[in-house]
Amino acid sequence: MWVIISTVKTLQLQSWHDQMFDKIIFVGIKLSMQTERTMHADTGESEEL
């Protein structure tokens, strides 16, 4: 997760990269949510994000 946060901070300095920034945020959030669900499914937990 810290990788996404540091990527966000780097891209915030490059405002001309706004479109790429939005895509990375969207994909990053989507991937982290899928990973959380997979981990919960593996351990049998059913916590909602």
State pLDDT tens for residues 5-46.
Answer: 777 777 666 665 677 778 888 999 999 888 888 877 766 655
Residue 47 within any structural domain of the chain: no
Supply the pLDDT for residue 30: 92
In a domain, 48, yes or no: no
Mind listing the pLDDT tens digit for each residue in 2-11?
677 777 777 6
Q: What is the predicted pLDDT for the residue at 46?
A: 56
CA distance 8 to 21: 7
Q: Is residue 28 part of a domain?
A: yes
Residue 37 located in a structural domain: yes
Confirm whether 16 is domain-assigned.
Answer: yes
Q: Is residue 33 one of the residues assigned to a domain?
A: yes
Number of domains in the chain: 1
3-state secondary structure the chain: CHHHHHHHHHHHCCHHHHHHHHHHHHHHHHHHHHHHHHHHHHHCCCCCC
Domain that holds residue 27: 2-41
46 belongs to a structural domain:
no
